[in-house]
Chains A and B, each alone.
Chain A
Amino acid sequence: MAEISDRVRRQPDSVPVGLATLLLGPATAVVAMAMVIPLIAFARYGFNSYDRIELMKQAWDIGNYVRFFSDPFFLGVLLRTIGMAFLATVLCLAIGFPIAFQLVRTQSRFKSIAVFLIVLPLFISGTIRCVGWMIVLARGSLLDTVIVTVSGARIDLMHTTLAVLFGIASFNLPYLILTLQSAIEGVDMELQQAAEGLGATPQRAFWRVIWPLAFPGVVVAAILSFVLAMNAYAAPVLLGGPRFQMMAPLLYWEFGTQNNWPMASVVAFVIMGTTLLLVGIASALLLRRR
């Protein structure tokens, strides 16, 4: 009896199991077909072998992975990619945090305009923005002319690590600022006043109270920026030039130019694995609940 009355009571606000399956089905199917299955298939390719004439040959072989991790070229690209992603993230945080913080605290009526200006670059494709950087940095550009006129020496800006770094950072910055903004908005600014009222200078109040509370959000924003940078394509290709290799362009080169699908698969899963590993370590270390 109790069971029956229980079921009667629950019925109005719970969806029958059959209907739930029906409703969730299409979305699940799309994700499975467009994402999970290709991913598994592509992972499988990594264990095939490559032949210049026959291209991909069925095999169960970890040779591609061995080659990746023993070849200084591949390892160099991986380390450079991690390094660039790390530097770009630090640069983004250094620029983005003060902006996001000011954005939260400001009472200015231009606040919405400021937010709009930050989002504006996202309306333009990342590739086109990189072309914009090329125009700024290229030989004979305004910036170049100014440097030559002032210093008398020519500093090549194009095809440098610095150019790629700025390219990636400028690409990530809007995402980072928006993420940080929402994180900082969750911190009650009255706490700053409370700390100052208790005798903390504004700086100490910030570091003892506001920063620890905003920190988890900062970590999340940094992770977002890091993941984006790990997968940067346009900036290294357009601003780094042919000899500046990072993982995403390398993946394209193996896949599209070399037709070496097994190696492309390895590169892809190394990016994914490394990113997940680093993000996992970072979250475990930094987001630990005290």
Chain B
Amino acid sequence: MLAGFVGVASGNIILDGEDIQHLPPYRREMGLVFQSYALFPHMTVAENIAFGLQMRRQPREAIASRVAELLDLVKLTGYEARLPRQLSGGQQQRVALARAIAIDPKVLLLDEPLSNLDASLRQQVAHEIRLLQKARGLTTIMVTHDQLEAMSMADRLVVMRNGRIEQAGTQRDLYERPASSFVASFIGGSNIVEGDLDGAMFRAVEAEPVRLASTYAPQPACRLALRPERIVMAPSAGHAGGPGVTGTIELATYLGATSEYLVRIGPDRRLVVRSSVGADHRAGERVFLRWSAQDERVFDSQDRVVAPAVKAASAQLAVSTGRS
């Protein structure tokens, strides 16, 4: 749509205050990097990079010097006479990038640029793209399914679902204040528990009742989102009445910097807990899970945020009759 290959059903695309919707792709001045790179296989690296400049009928010497400059930028000097198939994936990716930047695009569009690279190369190319983009001050729109990639490369994130914007903002906004359970689980990952909300009591479907840190207006069919790394785990004894939930550790995985636990709070309901503290818990252990008020997010049946009604301090009083 942005590049002009697909028509727009409704709305406008405005670039620099100008509606570009009616412009054909070849007039939009957008630098495109395709998921498959789409390098021209019958042209050399230099010819690929020069293509956009030739289409603009620039003088030969200008093209030659621009190509040399770009090859230097993507660190491929010496490769100009190679064909794309003689390059590695990462090198092809850099040619695609150089080709897109060559035309001095108004916007750089990256369509899952890293998805065809292996893990080690991915990070390296990601950093290169980021540095390049910073150095040139180039507005860049990058599409990705990988939230880590999005987190690491963007200034501003837009989470989309079925073609609609779920939430837009900085990484911090999306992580700390997700606007929907979809965003909460997509960005950073969250435990999502479904159940009914009644004050500070969250009755999860087929699970232990969860005592929330804040109190909310009663709501049926809600979702509770908790980040694995924000849950604190303690031995189960001595916590009765406090906010949290009891459960049994089913799996304990040591991951070096962190440990990950799968805690069962119902017959078919588990929470992932990630802790960076070295304290070992073993599988089979009864534990109590807690979290602070700012780390719990409740979403209603329309997946909108439910704000706490009363502050956390009074929560315990409100649920004295809670247990069912």
Contacts and interface: CB of A to CB of B under 8 A. Distances in A.
Interface of A: 188, 190-191, 193-202, 204-205, 208-209, 212-213, 290
Given A190-B34, A193-B25, A204-B55, A198 B42 contact: no
Contacts of A195: 40, 51, 55
15 contacts: A190-B36, A193-B3, A193-B38, A194-B32, A194-B34, A194-B39, A195-B40, A196-B5, A196-B24, A197-B30, A198-B51, A198-B55, A199-B29, A199-B55, A209-B40
A105 to B, nearest CB: 13
Contacts of B29: 199
A178 to B, nearest CB: 24
B34 A201 contact: no
A67 B39 CA distance: 56
Contacts of A200: 26, 51, 55
A110 to B, nearest CB: 22
Contacts of B36: 188, 190
A197 B40 contact: no
B55 A193 contact: no
B42 A199 contact: no
Top 7 A-B pairs, shortest CB-CB distance:
A198-B52, A194-B38, A197-B32, A199-B55, A196-B25, A190-B38, A200-B55
Given A190-B34, A212-B42, 4 more contacts: A190-B38, A200-B55, A209-B40, A213-B41
Contacts of A194: 32, 34, 38-40
Contacts of B27: 199
Contacts of A197: 3, 25-26, 28, 30-32, 100
A204 B55 CA distance: 8
B103 interface: yes
B56 interface: yes
Contacts of A191: 38, 40
Contacts of A208: 51
A200 B39 CA distance: 14
Contacts of A202: 26
A204 B56 CA distance: 12
B56 A199 contact: yes
B119 to A, nearest CB: 25
A1 B228 CA distance: 60
A209 B3 CA distance: 19
A283 B244 CA distance: 78
A134 B24 CA distance: 49
Interface string B90-111: 0000000001100100000000
Interface in B52-72: 52, 55-56
Contacts of B24: 196, 201
B85 to A, nearest CB: 13
Nearest to A188: B38
A30 to B, nearest CB: 40
A240 B289 CA distance: 93
Interface string B34-48: 101011111000000
B260 to A, nearest CB: 40
